[in-house]
């Protein structure tokens, strides 16, 4: 994209009163961003209101600075790019939503929609939830995301504290890719606590924003970017959410976009399970495991090994420790109570299984059986 | 009912190879139990197999003793009775199930189906679940039942340990009525731990059995009586249940009988929530409060006070231990990792909360926050 073209797209995005839907109509009418600004006043007035035409004919005061800032940002590192509605590299899934952004800022090694991309087949699953989850909720987000990552899915979330962060982290831990759709300009990282995480995401995944460089964290922009999180994804999983929360907005948008909504149930006494329960009452799918989600999505390209995993994970069926363990995180005390083994014997057994990668040691002194990859 | 009539019904119920459906056909063919045994061999042979006819023509060896035992039992107290398929006092709801018992033994002050009953309008709701629930599960059973009792519903369950017992108890605490459908003869109380509870139920509710006096607790009889629990009720609520459990049998029977099935969700890491989650996946209604159930049933007479019931559990929001605990069973190690508190301090704090009834100590060294009842 040359400077003139970039300038025209920026001008379109900075012109007040147009909006994404309006921009799409103008582009359809005139063929390109540059062509819009080559029209004379009477042509523009025929198309819409006088006010809209006047707005298009007036160069925004911030345009020159914004163009320079964008050019500087693009040159600052290799993996930065701007993709517009007119580009072949625009995410096809977003063309199906009601108001696709005319411009997307992207940052990261992952480029799944580039014409020559080799990794463009990864289906996306969104994971959203509370910024202040329970410890179990955060652990669930990480664990589900890890299995999705292992299964070759790309985990989409919003880089927020809590569930979002755990989801990105889990996807990377699982060796998968992840996309963060953020509500600020890409020259900023919000929240600051996720600076290191953002760097890790950029190294193997992608950070996406529809907002111009320099956009600070504005309350109104966060619900707005939620439509991109659901829009990019085949389904949206809500891990923990209060009754009135941004996660439920994302779930509603996903449902409106015709996507699957999944929710993890919890205690009826936990306020952070209320949102998930409300979604299930409204028709979202109750899921107890990442496998539940994988089975519901249409994922023809999953490796056959994964399909078998749902049935049996290949552990020796005659090892009573596995039966006692089940598939959930379990404490040493609980394992002892279930197996009747002495502590030393149990720990030696667990250590051997951990070394063999068959059991994971989780924080909080818990153990969990691992599915064989 | 005179002795001859009672004898005929007993003989019908004691004759091997007939079953409830067969008894119903015989009654339809000949008009009464006594009439069946007035038929000659050729008439009976025309109706069914030679073997069935022979069985009907042979007086069961135990009949005389059983008749005497039943007469003695009936005279032993005021509130004992036998109701047969031919009586007007037979529960109408059971006539709709596939194989209604030809005889029902009843014990208790409640007589909702008597022709002159004043309390015959109470709709029934079944509550079933694990014999070995988590403390929170047991508390939920009691709390839901109490609200049902307050709302004027009759709570039906099976007198078993765990969820059943808590349900009967809760209904009585709420000032409501309750029915226990048991799997033994009514001259026995099983389990023995529920002797006092059985007396309380009999004082204001009803204990029902289809099994002759003297029937011991036989494994096969417990799933069988489940169809009566669901059959008597407009809906069945499953509180906590493992994946393969009698509660799921009751839920399946309820669904087959066209009744509503309700299930309380829980942690995806709790084996006792698996059954409930499986039911919700199959179409059972997820419920978070008794009010959720009441709203689904067609109950015109509910009091408005009930709506406020299940909002918050009222714990001090400023206690960081509760936040660290979440709503799931958690180990001491995990709590320590989450709070950073020293072991001694943590244990003292937990003990105080346990004494105050705000935290439950589970087996396997786990702790769980309790909702305030």
Calculate mean pLDDT across residues B241-260. Answer: 94
Query: Residue B310 has what pLDDT?
Result: 35
Query: Residue B313 has what pLDDT?
Result: 45
* The residue to which tokens 């559990």 are assigned: B313
**Integer-rounded Cα radius of gyration of chain B:** 24
Residue pLDDT, tens place only, B306-320? 433 333 444 455 677
Residue B257 has pLDDT above 90, yes or no: yes
Residues in chain A where the model's pLDDT stays below 50 = 301, 303-315, 317, 372-373
Nearest CA-CA partner of B288 in B135, B126, B123, B140: B140
Long-range Cβ contact pairs of B21-27 (< 8 A, separation 24 or more): B21/B98, B21/B99, B22/B48, B22/B52, B23/B85, B23/B102, B24/B85, B24/B99, B24/B100, B24/B102, B26/B56, B27/B85, B27/B86, B27/B102
Q: Say if the Cβ atoms of B333 and A365 lie within 8 Å.
A: yes
Which phi and psi (to 5°) does residue B145 adopt? -60, -35
Query: Residue B308 has what pLDDT?
Result: 35
Query: Residue B131 has what pLDDT?
Result: 96
DSSP 8-state code for residue A328: S
- Which of residues B120 and A215 earns the better pLDDT score? A215
All residues of chain A having their beta carbon less than 8 Å from the beta carbon of residue B267 are 136, 265-267
Query: Residue A121 has what pLDDT?
Result: 59
Nearest CA-CA partner of B275 in B305, B239, B301, B308: B239
Query: Residue A133 has what pLDDT?
Result: 93
Calculate mean pLDDT across residues B140-147. Answer: 97
All residues of chain B having their beta carbon less than 8 Å from the beta carbon of residue A281 are 285-286
d(CA A197, CA B295): 46
The tokens of B208 are what? 């029902």
Calculate mean pLDDT across residues B260-273. Answer: 95
Residues 297-326 of A with CB under 8 A from B: 326
Task: Write the DSSP string, B311-334.
Answer: S-----TT-HHHHHHTTS-EEHHH
Residue B162 has pLDDT above 50, yes or no: yes
Residue pLDDT, tens place only, B16-67? 988 888 898 899 889 899 999 999 999 998 887 888 899 999 999 999 999 9
d(CA A239, CA A128): 6
* The residue to which tokens 């069945």 are assigned: B236
Query: Residue B120 has what pLDDT?
Result: 53
The tokens of A326 are what? 């089940």
Residue B298 has pLDDT above 90, yes or no: no
The tokens of B218 are what? 């036989």
**Cis before A191 (ω within 30):** yes
Residue B359 has pLDDT above 70, yes or no: yes
Among the partner-chain residues A135, A268, A270, the one whose CB lies closest to the CB of B338 is A135
Cβ–Cβ < 8 Å for A334, B365:
yes
Q: What is the separation of C-alpha B305 from the centre of its chain, rounded to a whole number of angstroms?
A: 27
Q: How confident is residue B121, by pLDDT bands cut at 50, 70 and 90?
A: low
Using alpha carbons, list the distances in angstroms from residue B151 to A17, B148, B170, B202, B276. 55, 5, 12, 20, 24
* The residue to which tokens 């818990």 are assigned: A366
Residues 255-284 of A with CB under 8 A from B: 264-271, 273-274, 277, 280-281
Query: Residue B122 has what pLDDT?
Result: 82
Contacts of B95 (CB under 8 A, 6+ apart): B85
The tokens of A64 are what? 């020159």
Calculate mean pLDDT across residues B223-244. Answer: 95
Among the partner-chain residues A136, A268, A289, the one whose CB lies closest to the CB of B328 is A136
Contacts of A167 (CB under 8 A, 6+ apart): A127, A128, A129, A141, A142, A144, A145, A155, A157, A178, A239
Query: Residue B311 has what pLDDT?
Result: 35
What ipTM was estimated for this complex? 0.80
Q: Strands B359-362, B366-369: parallel, antiparallel or unpaired by DSSP?
A: antiparallel
Query: Residue A354 has what pLDDT?
Result: 78
The tokens of A71 are what? 């050019």
Residues above pLDDT 90, as percent of chain B: 66
């Amino acid at each position: 994209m040359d400077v003139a073209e970039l300038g025209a797209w920026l001008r379109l995005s900075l012109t007040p009163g147009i909006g994404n839907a309006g921009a799409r109509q103008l582009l359809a009418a005139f063929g390109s961003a540059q062509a819009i600004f080559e029209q004379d006043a009477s042509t523009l007035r025929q198309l819409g209101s006088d006010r809209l035409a006047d707005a298009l004919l007036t160069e925004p005061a911030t345009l020159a600075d914004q163009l320079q800032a964008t050019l500087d940002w693009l040159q600052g590192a290799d993996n930065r790019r701007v993709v517009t509605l007119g580009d072949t590299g625009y995410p096809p899934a977003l063309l199906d939503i009601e108001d696709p952004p005319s411009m997307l800022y992207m940052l990261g090694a992952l480029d799944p929609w580039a014409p020559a991309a080799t990794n463009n087949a990864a289906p996306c699953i969104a994971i959203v939830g509370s910024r202040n989850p329970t410890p179990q909720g955060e652990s669930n987000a990480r664990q589900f995301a890890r299995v999705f990552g292992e299964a070759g899915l790309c985990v989409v979330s919003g880089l927020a504290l809590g569930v979002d962060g755990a989801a990105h982290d889990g996807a990377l831990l699982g060796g998968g890719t992840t996309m963060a759709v953020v509500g600020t300009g890409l020259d900023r990282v919000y929240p600051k606590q996720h600076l290191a995480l953002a760097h890790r995401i950029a190294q193997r995944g992608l950070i996406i924003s529809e907002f111009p460089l320099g956009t600070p964290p504005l309350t109104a922009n966060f619900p707005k970017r939620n439509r991109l999180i659901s829009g990019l994804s085949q389904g949206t999983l809500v891990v923990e959410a209060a009754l009135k929360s941004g996660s439920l907005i994302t779930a509603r948008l996903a449902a409106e976009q015709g996507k699957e909504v999944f929710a993890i149930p919890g205690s009826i006494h936990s306020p952070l399970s209320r949102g998930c329960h409300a979604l299930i009452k409204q028709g979202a799918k109750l899921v107890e495991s990442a496998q539940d989600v994988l089975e519901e999505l249409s994922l023809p390209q999953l490796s056959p090994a994964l399909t078998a995993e749902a049935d049996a994970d290949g552990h020796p069926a005659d090892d009573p420790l596995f039966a006692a363990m089940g598939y959930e995180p379990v404490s040493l005390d609980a394992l002892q109570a279930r197996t009747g083994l002495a502590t030393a014997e149990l720990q030696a057994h667990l250590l051997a299984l951990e070394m063999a990668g068959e059991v994971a040691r989780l924080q909080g002194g818990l153990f969990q059986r691992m599915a064989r990859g």
